[in-house]
Amino acid sequence: MTEPKLLLERNDGVLTLILNRPAKLNAIDNELAASLRKALDSAAVDSSVRAIRLRGNGRAFCAGRDVSEAPTNIDLELVQAVAKSIVHNPKPVVAVVHGWTVGAGLEWMLNADVVYAADDSKFKLPEASLGVFVTGGLVATLPAAVGLTRAKALMLLGDEFNAQQAAAWGMVYKTCPNSELEMASLDACIRLAALKPAVASQFKRVVNLFGLQEFNEAVAEEENVHRILARGDA
């Protein structure tokens, strides 16, 4: 039997969603994205879930979209749907990253409310060099995290950067040794799960309302640019 591409674990009100394509560094295909969206949407209305943790199995968090096949409109729709499900989820979402976090994986990371990273993590946004546009509302989330000038440089140049830089730039809340990442992130999620659900939800909603007030427009415009590039109009 084929192993599921998304694993679920529950612990004291915390739902952990585990990207499970370790041989592909958890690269995103349609099945993984669809499963993740379904799990996030189910968690949003599940009163037993009070915090969500997102992490990857194996040697990396997520190597971005699986480029072994040509991208399709469905790929784009699913990646964007996951981003919206994270940002608009009433439950706090903690991203837990290690190894490589690339492209759409980094975009999903920035959709989360809190990010923990192993201190040997590596990050990259290679889309421009690959001739494609970004997703996940990155044109809103990245400038909000690191500032406009650095955001443009990271997207256009696609330079690799490390966990210490990501933390200094405001993309990551805390870094720790890989051996401590599991317990540190789980402890944070348990603390989030102990909050009154209405309080946690309203904090997230209002902070995003003002801090990411153009997120929905950013996602829509990213999709528009993908269509323009696919037609060869630019």
Neighbours of 103 (CB within 10 A): 28
Kindly state whether residue 48 falls inside one of the protein's structural domains.
Answer: yes
Instruction: Give tens-digit pLDDT for 141-165.
Output: 999 999 999 999 999 999 999 999 9
Instruction: Give tens-digit pLDDT for 176-191.
Output: 999 999 999 999 999 9
DSSP letter, residue 8: E
Kindly state whether residue 202 falls inside one of the protein's structural domains.
Answer: yes
Give Cα separations from 110 to 101, 107, 141 (angstroms): 11, 5, 6
Q: Residue 61 has what pLDDT? A: 98
Kindly state whether residue 129 falls inside one of the protein's structural domains.
Answer: yes
Whole-number Å distance between alpha carbons of 136 and 145 = 14
Q: Where are the beta strands (DSSP E) in 31-140?
A: 51-56, 93-97, 100-102, 114-118, 122-124
Kindly state whether residue 174 falls inside one of the protein's structural domains.
Answer: yes
pTM: 0.96
> What's the number of domains the chain is made of?
1
How do beta strands 174-176 and 114-118 pair?
A: parallel
Contact (Cβ atoms closer than 8 angstroms) between residue 25 and residue 59: yes
Kindly state whether residue 47 falls inside one of the protein's structural domains.
Answer: yes
State both tokens at 134.
Answer: 């970004």
Kindly state whether residue 160 falls inside one of the protein's structural domains.
Answer: yes
Domain that residue 62 falls in: 6-178+197-231
- Averaged pLDDT, 37-42: 98
CA-closest candidate to residue 136, choices 99, 96, 109:
109
Whole-number Å distance between alpha carbons of 109 and 234 = 29
Whole-number Å distance between alpha carbons of 213 and 56 = 29
Kindly state whether residue 189 falls inside one of the protein's structural domains.
Answer: no
Burial of 138 (0-12, 13-18, 19+ CB in 10 A): buried
Contact (Cβ atoms closer than 8 angstroms) between residue 84 and residue 77: no
Kindly state whether residue 186 falls inside one of the protein's structural domains.
Answer: no
Give the SS3 label for residue 135: coil
φ, ψ of residue 93 in degrees (nearest 5):
-115, 125
- Averaged pLDDT, 119-145: 97
Instruction: Give tens-digit pLDDT for 46-78.
Output: 999 999 999 999 999 999 999 887 677 899 999
Cross-strand partners of 118: 176
CATH of the domain at 35: 3.90.226.10
Neighbours of 89 (CB within 10 A): 21
Q: Residue 69 has what pLDDT? A: 74
